[in-house]
Amino acid sequence: MSLRSSIAPKLVATISAAALLTMAPGWSGSSWASARLANTAHTTHHSSVSGTWKGSYSGSFSGTFKLTWKQTKSNLSGTIMISAFSNVPTSIHGTLQGTSIHFGTVGSQSITYSGSVSGSSMSGTWKLEANGHVGGTGSWKASKTS
């Protein structure tokens, strides 16, 4: 085997790797660490859901609702007014972890909501339980109005 035939594959592999590192965004030089930190910060940041949201729900039942949230870190508190319940304000509590939101009401009937938030919109699924029995399920969506 000649020296040329043994070096050629190694040289091609080295040049290919160098070209990949040079062309890949944020992978070369000192920018790699800052690009990685920027991506990490972006994935752990979530926007505030504080304010008023209006939405609709469908499934076993359908109608509209209005949420008013106050957010403290990942904890949510506020009121919900549901058209099927004469729009009477009812206390509601929940959590926001990244883009994942969970909230619910507790009373003679429990309604729980799970979903995700993206900017000024959120959507997901709901479940109504009464006396340990599921009374309905469906989907919901809402948009931030203020």
Is it true that domain 51-144 has CATH number 2.40.128.120?
yes
User: Residue 79: exposed, middle, or buried by beta-carbon count in 10 A (0-12, 13-18, 19+)?
Assistant: middle
Task: Report the chain (146 residues): mean pLDDT per 10 consecutive residues.
Answer: 49 36 37 37 61 97 96 95 91 94 81 94 94 92 96
Provide the residue ranges of all domains of the chain, joining segments of one domain with +.
3-44, 51-144
Give the distance from CA 12 to its chain's centroid: 44
What is the C-alpha separation between 22 and 100, in angstroms, rounded? 36
